[in-house]
Each structure stands twice: as structure tokens, then as C-alpha cells.
Amino acid sequence: MHKPRLQLQASFDIAYLQYLDQQGRATQPLPDFATPDWLTYCLRQMQLARLVDDRAVKLQRTGRLGTYPSTLGQEAIGVATGNALMAEDIYCPYYRETGALLERGVEIEEILAIWGGDERGQNFEHARKDLPICVPIATQMLHAAGVAFALRHRHQQRGEPLQVAVASSGEGATSKGDFYEAMNLAGVWKLPMVFVVNNNQWAISVPRTAQTATQTIAQKAIAAGMPALQVDGNDIVAVAWAVRDAMMRARCGDGPALIEALSYRLCDHTTADDASRYRSAEELEQAWQWEPIRRLETYLRNQNLWSDANQQDMERELAQTMEAALNNWESRAPEPSTAIFDHLYAQLPEGLYEQYDQLRDEQAGVERQ
Ligand SMILES: Cc1ncc(C[n+]2csc(CCOP(=O)(O)OP(=O)(O)O)c2C)c(N)n1
């Protein structure tokens, strides 16, 4: 068989970043932003996210909350991402983002409202321009590309500072057309946009290796002409550096970037799932060795920046914060049942007037009883 001589036309690398290894040891000097105050703040925010997740799962188990997607084991990704955005940037989150939402100023009560079926929770009081969380897989990436296009247009037309749109997703979402389409537009239009992919190894019961033959998720960005970096997603310093760097490039007009954050979903996919039916106890036990909170805590303790007393104080303070949020959430007046129409249409179609009136009258009857 004749073998033609081929010339190398292009070649690419995917780099990997880590600052704190699995034992909480620094593998290289930490960046300037990782001050003791910032690190202890991140430890608090990750612990808060874990506490909210824990309580939300318990609320679901006792019938007080709907289906909930925990972020257990992936707290570093959300907290680092949310922390890297400026207030004016626009976050387009997927559903597994408790840590990032908290970091954006979303109230715990709002997060509980969302998963309790109360759409008012999506109307973030302190993150007015952020998009609601997206459950339809990967659609938020196209929304974010549209947002980034608008942000750049405003910058060019009105001279506003360039702001950045950030879309988050799981690795399963990167198998969808929406992801490739959004990356293609972001790349060719050099949009101010950052893609953050939480590669937690599982898309419900489908392991990463069963849904994509790619060696890394990061390399998918190369086809769209954008830089990509793979980071240890359980190392909050690495995720924060990567997102900050990508945001800075986008803000300077240098276009989009993708970050693949390697992690592991220590929880079930959602409260509607039982992961023990499709993955081994050994795999799970192994993955617990890599989790992000103990890693950062170990680092801080080794630096004499954290003690048992600090930990106890923080746990007490977080428990009080959580308790107050639960009380606020439980004392909110429920939405009227007609709200199901309100959040679906800007203008109610005529064909639904009758149903709307019927529901409104039924509700009034219930309230009279
Ligand atoms: C368009 C669409 N198809 C299917 C689903 C059902 N679904 C919900 S979560 C999920 C897996 C997503 O996995 P991944 O993107 O890896 O994110 P993870 O949940 O692991 O964080 C699927 C298929 C959906 N929500 N939307």
C-alpha cells in the first residue's frame, strides 16, 4: 500500500493547571490573589454551598422541596467561577451551580424557592442581569453567545466597558450541538465569553468515556479557534486563576476561552437518581480523596492559617446563616397557582384565557374556604 508523504499543517496542545495537590500541598507558588483572607473566604463559601446542598437534599427527602441537583464534591468550580466575575458581567448558569449562585449574591432562599417550584426564585434580587438557571442541557451556551454579542455591540456602539458572558455546563452538555454552535460563533465573532465545563465524569448514568471519544473536553475548543485549559477542578486556586485569566482576555477584546475543570460528582445526579445502581462504591470512595474542601482546609492548616477553633466558629456561623434562610424561605407566601401562566408567556395566548380564569376562580374558592 502506497504511503504518501504528509506535511504537518497544524498542531495543538492542551495544558493542565494545578496549584494544590490532593494532599493539600502547593505544587507551585500561589498567584497573588490567593491571599490568606481570600483562601479562608473561599473555604467558607465552599462549606456554605455544601451545607445548602445537604439541607436541600434533606428537605427533598422530607417532601418539602422538589428534585434537587447537589454540587457535592464540585464546590470549588462554582465558588471560583462566581468569584471571578465582576458585578456587571452576565452569568448564564446551568442547574448544578449552588456555589456560583451564592457567590453572585443569590440568596439561599431564592435557591430553595427555585427547587421548590417557585419561579420567583429565578428573579435574582442581587444579580438582576444574570440569566435564570437552565435545565435544558447546553441551551444556556447559545443564550450566553447571544448575550456576549449584545455586550460587545453595546461596547462598540455606546462605548460601555466590555463585559463578559460566562456559561457553565457539565461535560455531558459538550456532546450537544448547542455547545459546538455556541463555540463556533464565539470563536469566529471573538465574543467576550467564557465557557466553564464541570467535568464531573458522569452525565446521569453515562460515564464520560461512553459519550465522547475525545481525550480531553478542553480540546473541543480548538476546532472553534479558541484557547482552552484543563484545570484540577477540585483545586479552587487553579479554577480561579483559569477563570480570571479567561475573563481578563475576554474583557480586553481578545475573545472567548474554554476551561475544563476536572472533578467528580460525589452525589447522585439529582435527588431523583440512585447512583449506586450504576457506579461502584470503590470508585466513589476513591473520588472522596480528591474533594476540594478538605484539600484547601489541609493547606490552610499546614500554613497555620486555620485551626479547630476557626473551624468550629465557622460551622456555628454557617448553621445560623442557614437557619435564618430556612425561616425566611418557609415564611414566604406561596405563589398563586396562576403563576404557571405568568412565567411562561410575556403575553398570554387567547386560547389559554379560559384555563387561566378557571384556575384563578378555583384559587379564589380555596382561599375563601
Ligand atoms: C435537552 C435535554 N436533554 C436531556 C435532558 C435530561 N438530562 C438532565 S441532566 C442530563 C445529563 C447532563 O450531564 P452533564 O452535562 O454532564 O451535567 P451534570 O448533570 O453531570 O453536571 C440529562 C441528559 C435535559 N435536561 N435537557
Q: What is the pLDDT of residues 8-61, one digit of tens each?
A: 999 999 999 999 999 999 999 999 999 999 999 999 999 999 999 999 999 999
Tell which CATH architecture fits domain 15-335.
Answer: 3-Layer(aba) Sandwich (3.40)
User: Half-sphere exposure of 136 toward its Cβ, with a 13 Å CA cutoff?
Assistant: 8
Q: List, in order, residues 6 or more apart from 73 with CB less than 8 Å away.
A: 200, 234, 263, 264, 265, 266, 267, 287, 288, 291, 292
The answer to whether the CB of 234 is under 6 A from ligand 1 is no
Q: Is the pLDDT of residue 273 over 90?
A: yes
Q: How close is the Cα of 323 to the center of ligand 1, in Å? A: 31
- Give pLDDT tens digits for 57-115: 999 999 999 999 999 999 999 999 999 999 999 999 999 999 999 999 999 999 999 99
Q: What is the mean pLDDT of residues 269-273?
A: 98
Which atom of ligand 1 is closest in space to residue 200's alpha carbon?
Answer: 20
Q: What is the mean pLDDT of residues 217-222?
A: 98
By CB atoms closer than 10 A (0-12, 13-18, 19+), residue 256 is: buried
What is the rounded CA–CA span in Å between residue 302 and residue 52?
27
Q: Is the pLDDT of residue 366 over 90?
A: no
What is the rounded CA–CA span in Å between residue 233 and residue 262?
4
The answer to whether the CB of 204 is under 6 A from ligand 1 is yes
Ligand 1 pocket test, pick from 68, 135, 137 with the greatest ligand atom count within 8 Å of Cβ, gives 137
Q: Are 47 and 318 in contact (CB under 8 A)?
A: yes
The answer to whether the CB of 78 is under 6 A from ligand 1 is no
CA nearest neighbour of 314 among 59, 19, 79, 39? 39
Instruction: Give the burial string for 295-331 (b: 16+ CB within 10 Å, else e).
Output: bbbbbbeeeeebeeeeeeebeeebeeebeebbeebee
Q: Is the pLDDT of residue 246 over 80?
A: yes
Q: How close is the Cα of 221 to the center of ligand 1, in Å? A: 20
CA nearest neighbour of 247 among 167, 181, 172? 167
* pTM, full prediction: 0.96
Q: Is the pLDDT of residue 142 over 90?
A: yes
Q: What is the mean pLDDT of residues 224-243?
A: 98
The answer to whether the CB of 198 is under 6 A from ligand 1 is yes
- Give pLDDT tens digits for 150-195: 999 999 999 889 999 999 999 999 999 999 999 999 999 999 999 9
Q: List, in order, residues 6 or more apart from 187 with CB less than 8 Å away.
A: 221, 224, 225, 226, 255, 256
Active site residues: 265, 269, 278
Q: Is the pLDDT of residue 365 over 90?
A: no
Which set of grid coordinates corresponds to residue 15? 495544558
Predicted confidence at residue 364, as pLDDT, reads 86
pLDDT band at 369 (very low <50, low <70, confident <90, very high): low
> Measuring from atom 13 of ligand 1, which residue has the nearest CA?
203
Q: Is the pLDDT of residue 367 over 80?
A: no
CA nearest neighbour of 190 among 129, 145, 130, 238? 145
Q: Are 200 and 265 in contact (CB under 8 A)?
A: yes
First to last CA, the chain: 86
The answer to whether the CB of 173 is under 6 A from ligand 1 is yes
DSSP 193-254: EEEEEEE-SEETTEEHHHH---S-SGGGGGGGT--EEEEETT-HHHHHHHHHHHHHHHHTT-
Residue 364, CA distances (Å) to 98, 190, 257, 339, 341 in order: 35, 53, 52, 14, 16
Q: How many CB atoms lie within 10 A of CB 273?
A: 17
Q: Phi and psi (nearest 5°) for 134?
A: -110, 125
Q: What is the DSSP letter of 122?
A: G
More confident residue, 366 or 169: 169
The answer to whether the CB of 77 is under 6 A from ligand 1 is no
Q: What share of the chain is helix, strand, coil (3-state, %, to 5)?
A: 50, 10, 40
Q: How close is the Cα of 138 to the center of ligand 1, in Å? A: 8
- Give pLDDT tens digits for 319-346: 999 999 999 999 999 888 888 888 888 8
Q: Are 172 and 199 in contact (CB under 8 A)?
A: no
Predicted confidence at residue 345, as pLDDT, reads 85
> Measuring from atom 4 of ligand 1, which residue has the nearest CA?
137
Which atom of ligand 1 is closest in space to residue 265's alpha carbon?
Answer: 20
Which atom of ligand 1 is closest in space to residue 96's alpha carbon?
Answer: 21
The answer to whether the CB of 324 is under 6 A from ligand 1 is no
The answer to whether the CB of 233 is under 6 A from ligand 1 is no
Which atom of ligand 1 is closest in space to residue 203's alpha carbon?
Answer: 13
Strand partners, 199: 262
> Measuring from atom 12 of ligand 1, which residue has the nearest CA?
203
Ligand 1 pocket test, pick from 75, 140, 195, 204 with the greatest ligand atom count within 8 Å of Cβ, gives 204
Place of cell 428573579: 123
CA 134 to chain centre: 10
Predicted confidence at residue 41, as pLDDT, reads 98
Residue ranges covered by each domain of the chain? 15-335, 337-369
The answer to whether the CB of 137 is under 6 A from ligand 1 is yes
User: Half-sphere exposure of 38 toward its Cβ, with a 13 Å CA cutoff?
Assistant: 14
Q: How close is the Cα of 252 to the center of ligand 1, in Å? A: 33
When the pLDDT of each residue in the chain is averaged and rounded to a whole number, the result is 96
Q: At what angle do helices 292-302 and 36-61 cross, to 10 degrees?
A: 150
Q: How close is the Cα of 18 to the center of ligand 1, in Å? A: 27
pLDDT band at 205 (very low <50, low <70, confident <90, very high): very high
Predicted confidence at residue 346, as pLDDT, reads 85
What is the rounded CA–CA span in Å between residue 195 and residue 281?
32
Predicted confidence at residue 25, as pLDDT, reads 98
The answer to whether the CB of 208 is under 6 A from ligand 1 is no
Q: What is the mean pLDDT of residues 350-368?
A: 88
